[in-house]
Amino acid sequence: MNFRIRAAQREDCRDISRMIMELAVFEKMAEQATLSHEDLERDGFCTNPLFECLVAEVPEEDDPKVGYKLVGYALYFYTYSTWKGRCVYVEDLYVMPEFRGKGIGKGLISKVAQVGKERLCARLQLSVLDWNTSSLNFYVAKGAQDLTAAEGWHFLRFDGGALDKLANEAPKD
């Protein structure tokens, strides 16, 4: 199958938003996906973008019944390790189901790795739901280490009321 991986552009945000919702439905967490395409435009296509994104596009003549030119995306941002320095974190990697198994996912993750290496990143990191064995196996087959098993790390989050409570406990200026 012919496809091309390229940097996302502002006008891609509607399709990226559509695919984010498709991923949220797949992950059984659709109610948590509240970001709009306007939010993506504001946060990713501004003076100091909070994320970068790659998209996978296919020629429309390859599958006109789908009706989409963009069939996958990888959304990522940069972090910093006090042990290793610059890192790239892949928040989402998604390929529409009818386009899986055609090298698009591999193309997206490889391109993020290439961008990370060009930016002198020491690591590429991501998380996978424990029940998503096909994705976990895909990344492990590419050389990823499962740090939960290997090193015992836990990925934690504060949000909603817990984030509010923690912020309210900050020392006063």
Active site residue 78: no
Can you give the residue ranges of every domain in the chain? Answer: 4-146
3-class secondary structure, 76 = strand
- DSSP E strands in the chain: the ranges are 4-7, 52-57, 70-81, 85-95, 123-126
Crossing angle between the packed helical segments 13-26 and 37-44, to the nearest 10 degrees? 120
Amino acid at 98: E
The mean-pLDDT minimum among 95-99, 144-148, 155-159, 162-166 falls in 155-159
* Confidence (pTM): 0.92
3-state secondary structure of 74: strand
pLDDT score, position 63? 57
Q: What is the mean pLDDT of residues 89-107?
A: 96
Q: Which of 73, 89, 94, 139 is catalytic?
A: 139
8 Å CB contact between 99 and 1: yes
Query: Do the Cβ atoms of 93 and 54 come closer than 8 Å?
Result: no
Burial class of residue 103, CB neighbours in 10 A (0-12, 13-18, 19+): middle
Distance CA 133, CA 63 (A): 28
* Residue 141 pLDDT greater than 60, yes or no: yes
Q: Which residue has the tokens 């984010």?
A: 20
Confidence of residue 66 (pLDDT cuts 50, 70, 90): low
Where does residue 9 rank: exposed (0-12), middle (13-18), buried (19+ CB within 10 A)? exposed
Start-to-end C-alpha separation, the chain: 58
**Which one of 3.40.630.30, 3.60.20.10, 1.10.10.10, 3.30.360.10 gives the CATH number of domain 4-146?**
3.40.630.30
Q: What is the pLDDT of residue 64?
A: 55
Strand partners, 73: 55, 94
Query: What is the C-alpha separation between 89 and 51, in angstroms, rounded?
Result: 10
Q: Is the pLDDT of residue 67 over 80?
A: no
d(CA 151, CA 70): 37
